[in-house]
Amino acid sequence: MEIAVVGSGYVGLVAGACFADSGNEVYCVDKDEKKIEALLAGNIPIYEPGLKDIVARNAKNGRLKFTTSLQEGVEASQVIFIAVGTPPGEDGSADLSHVLAVASGIGKYMNGPKVIVDKSTVPVGTAKLVSDAIAKETSHDFEVVSNPEFLKEGAAIDDFMKPDRVVVGVPSEKSAQVMRKLYAPFVRTNNPILVMDVVSAEMTKYAANAMLATRISFMNEVSALCEQVGADVDQVRIGIGTDSRIGMSFLFPGIGYGGSCFPKDVQALIRTAHQKGLTFHVSEAVERVNNAQKRSLVEKVVKHYGSVEDLKGKHFAVWGLAFKPRTDDVREAPALVVIEELLAAGATVCAFDPEARHTFADAIGEHEGLRYSDTNYNALPGADALLICTEWNDFRHPNFEKLTSSLKAPVIFDGRNLFGIEDMKTRNFTYYSVGRPVVKPND
């Protein structure tokens, strides 16, 4: 099948590469000339495990093409995916300007019947807007389908190739058949292709991400109470997660969620509810808890040293800048909040991340008190304490002797609960984590 994917960012590039890998001829379209030049040269603009190899293989075989010409992609394709960004506006609603601009362009260049697929995360009612925008530009037959993505950054290739389910919102059986055929190679183990109406598919994406965000914020609230009463949130998490009605997923406490999906999608869901005269009390609380949780690690630092003023002149090492491991994405990353607050208090920071150094530097800008290290251990010398913001596997089993000899004092603020409490009790560290008792030397 001939496919065009408009937008070569995270969702579009993964989708295009995976569709090409199943034998389709795919045109990845992007108006960013530098991005397309990089892709043509074999350079991948994002870090995602396995993506570089799959792009290179299919580009070499001629199944994956890159172009800045929307006309070329539209005219050559039967199915056209819209996978451009939908950043949040000032009021929290999704900005659909890029989506609708692409829709108009598709209509302008249509040369026959097409299936247009909304792959971008978009609010309920977007398919109708896309359809209207296309219809203004063409007399050709077309149908607009909603096909939300459920890719986890760091595991996107596996998620696409072996999805839990594929959600497809269609206006007719005709487009449903096209989508079933397209996704058939990815559901050979009988994971379902869920065909539903377009509006329900659009709603499914936001509801799914809001539910996952809710679990995270709930556990973070529980962790705060555990700290006050002396409970261990890890034990509580196991105690509730083994209930078959609840399950273990997304019950890990930390310093808040980030990334391109959860914050934006929760905001958009709240905004959509407001537009319909509803108040989403739970989702609004989820967002408040998450915003507060991103500041919780610095609050522990302040409490340890006495006051915000006491942070002036202190120097901290920070491990982890990406919002989660196995990605270089720093959008809404808790580390942004942590480091900005440390710098604002007059502290200096040396930070390390295996992949996200450059994206973080672009996001936070230049700061006199912020520098970056080439290894996690090189970030430590002279630091008053270590803060951990991302749960990279590289950090789970450090050389604690190096930590002790490099840090001014053996103090760790662990925002991801990487180390066991009992283990830390034997290592003569002052150790703060999330939802667990503070460990101090000689405890």
Catalytic one among 226, 261, 350, 389?
Answer: 261
> How far apart (Å, rounded) are the C-alpha atoms in residues 418 and 116?
44
Query: What is the Cβ-side half-sphere exposure of residue 438, based on CA atoms within 13 angstroms?
Result: 15
Q: What angle do CA 254, 255, 258 make, to 5 degrees?
A: 105
261 is catalytic: yes
3-state secondary structure of 80: strand
The DSSP symbol for 409 reads S
> How far apart (Å, rounded) are the C-alpha atoms in residues 231 and 39?
51
Residue type for position 380 = L
The backbone torsions φ and ψ at residue 371, rounded to the nearest 5 degrees and listed phi first, read -135, 170
Smallest CA-to-CA distance from 268 within 324, 336, 213 is with 213
3-state secondary structure of 90: coil
The answer to whether the CB of 46 falls within 8 A of the CB of 328 is: yes
Task: State the first-to-last Cα distance of the chain, in angstroms, to the nearest integer.
Answer: 65
Sequence-separated (6 or more) residues with CB below 8 Å from residue 440 = 430, 431
- Catalytic positions: 261
